[in-house]
Amino acid sequence: MNIKTYISSGIIESFVAGLATSEEIAELEAMRQEYPDLDIAIRECEYDMENYIQLQRDHLPPEKLRQRVKQMLMVSLEAEKNKTPYINNSTSYPDIKLSPDKMRVHIGWKTLLIYLLIYIAVSLVAAAVFFFMTLPK
Amino acid sequence: MSRNRLKPTITYSESELVMLLKEADTNAFWHLYHHYEGALYQVAYGILKDEEFASYALHDAFMNIWRNIHQYDPNKGRLFTWMHQIIRHKSLEILQSKTYRESNRIKSMTESDLMIPLQDSPEQSGLRGLLQQLKKEHRVLIELSYFAGYTRKEIATQLDIPVGTVKTRIRAALLVLRKMMQLF
């Protein structure tokens, strides 16, 4: 593929604006590794987009909404901070994962319990039979 | 003299900012927020055309940025491009939500929705003033691709042009924009 034709096809602009399809993105990502000119062209386009959109930065939400967003962000950040130990799997919250060995032990206990229940049931039946047999006639 | 004037303004390079964000530095987060709040809000507003919904998108996008900063790879693009994708995605998600649809606020892009009005205004100077001179067809293409959240197919329908030419038309418009920005 001719890289100049590819660059001028408009794919970079679509990619930077977020309009490219996943196939186009995959192709572009692979090609930028191979062609430095393409990589430069993408970076230039990104820089232009940032400058253009930053021109609109003075158009802020109404003050009341702005303050609400800030408040919400403060609350959300605080909540994130509090749940960090869970996310990081720190030592105070051990990660419990059952390995196949432990699973076998688990199944062994289950079998033993079943045998025990059967044994109790048989003993009860035997005791009942013995009780009725020894009853005075 | 006010206290704020004495307070030094901290500026970060993009790589410093990313590094601090990855270390969960809240000061860096608020710096990022104040620097990009307006730009990202405009992207959300361009898609949602509603101040309240756009504000929700802004909140959610910044929380996504905070949570997923480890996924950002500087080799794959600028920080702003990554954040633009996040706010665009979040706004489109809200656009398709039941709450938004029930609010019946969907409307098509009109001239009045353009971020920079088409009419020349004498008070505009500098780069913004220069951008006023962009041809309407170029301006609409730039706004539709950067702010409106439309797909190429939707842009084609909106402008009544074949889908195949949308890509090249956007490029042509952006090349004109680049030239104008370089002139400034």
Nearest-by-CA chain B residue for A78: B26
What average pLDDT does this structure show over B91-95?
A: 92
Q: How many other CB atoms are there within 10 angstroms of residue B6's CB atom?
A: 7
Nearest-by-CA chain B residue for A25: B76
Tokens of B16: 């410093």
Are B135 and B176 a contacting pair, CB within 8 Å? yes
Between the CA of residue B157 and those of A9, A39, B35, B95, B133, what are the distances in Å?
20, 31, 35, 19, 25
Q: How many other CB atoms are there within 10 angstroms of residue B181's CB atom?
A: 16
Angle between helices B136-146 and B26-48 (to 10 degrees): 120
- Please state, in angstroms and rounded to a whole number, the distance separating the CA atoms of residues B36 and B44: 12
Could A53 and B170 be called an inter-chain contact, meaning their C-beta atoms sit closer than 8 Å?
Answer: no
Top pLDDT among B147 and B32 is at B32
Q: How many other CB atoms are there within 10 angstroms of residue B84's CB atom?
A: 25
Looking at the complex, report in whole angstroms how far the Cα of residue B101 sits from the nearest Cα belonging to chain A.
21
- Please state, in angstroms and rounded to a whole number, the distance separating the CA atoms of residues A28 and A42: 10
SS (H, E, C) A76-137: HHHHHHHHHHHHHCCCCCCCCCCCHHHHHHHHHHHHHHHHHHHHHHHHHHHHHHHHHHCCCC
Residue type, A120: I
Q: What is the pLDDT of residues A95-134, one digit of tens each?
A: 444 444 545 555 677 888 999 999 999 999 999 998 888 8
Say what the pLDDT of residue B57 is: 94
Task: Tell whether the model's pLDDT for residue A91 goes beyond 80.
Answer: no
ipTM entry: 0.74
Q: What is the pLDDT of residues A123-133, one digit of tens each?
A: 999 999 988 88
Could A9 and B168 be called an inter-chain contact, meaning their C-beta atoms sit closer than 8 Å?
Answer: yes
Of the candidate ranges A6-20, A72-86, B123-137, the one whose mean pLDDT is the lowest: B123-137
Residue percentage of chain A with pLDDT more than 90:
50
Are B47 and B92 a contacting pair, CB within 8 Å? yes
Are B42 and B115 a contacting pair, CB within 8 Å? yes
Q: How many other CB atoms are there within 10 angstroms of residue A115's CB atom?
A: 9
Q: What is the pLDDT of residues B123-154, one digit of tens each?
A: 455 666 666 777 888 888 888 888 888 888 98
Could A18 and B85 be called an inter-chain contact, meaning their C-beta atoms sit closer than 8 Å?
Answer: yes
